[in-house]
Amino acid sequence: MRPILRTFATMSRVIAIDLGLKRTGIAVTDPLRIIASALETVETTKVMDYLSNYLAREAVDGFIVGLPVGLDGRPTDATAAVQDFIARLRAAFPAQWVEPVDERFTSRMAARTVQESGKGRMARRDKGQLDRISATILLQDWLQRQG
C-alpha cells in the first residue's frame, strides 16, 4: 500500500483556463485530481501574472485550455486568439504541459448551472461567475475522461 500513497502524494494540480476577450475563468483540481473547483475570474490581460503567482505557491503539472470551435468542429473567430495564448502559456511555463480541449457548450452549461442553482437574477448576471463555472466544467469533463 505504501507505493500507492507515494504515487498520490507526488501528484500535482491541473488548472483549467476559459479564456475570454475581457475576463478569463480559472478552475483547479485538488492535488489528487479528484475534484475540479472554480478558482478565480481574472482580467484576461492579467492572466499570465496570476498564473505565475499561483505556480509560485502551488505545484501544478499542467493546463487545460478551452479551445473555441464551432458546432461543425471548425475554428471560430476566437480560435486564433486562444491558440496564440496557448503558445505564450507554453513559452512562459515550459515545465508544465498544455492541452487544448473542445469548449463547445460549456458556456451554455454554465448558464444552466447558475439558473438551476436558484440564485437571484443579479447573481445570474455575474459573468465572472459564468467564466469560473465554464472553466470548472471543462476541467471536470477532462478529469472524467482521464478515468
Encode the chain (147 residues) as per-residue pLDDT tens digits. Answer: 444 443 445 579 999 999 999 999 999 999 999 999 999 999 999 999 999 999 999 999 999 999 988 888 788 888 999 999 999 999 999 999 999 998 765 655 545 555 555 565 555 455 667 888 889 999 999 998 887
Domain harbouring 27, CATH code = 3.30.420.140
Helix (H, G, I), strand (E, B) or coil at 98: strand
pTM: 0.81
Contact status, residue 99 vs residue 139, Cβ threshold 8 Å = no
Residues 6+ apart with CB under 8 A from 21: 44, 78, 81
Query: Distance between CA 21 and CA 79 in Å, rounded?
Result: 11
DSSP 110-134: HHHHHHHTT--HHHHT-HHHHHHHH
**Into how many domains does the chain fold?**
1
- Among candidate residues 12, 35, 15, 33, the one with its CA nearest the CA of residue 25: 15
Strand partners, 27: 16, 38
Domain with 60 in it? 2-146
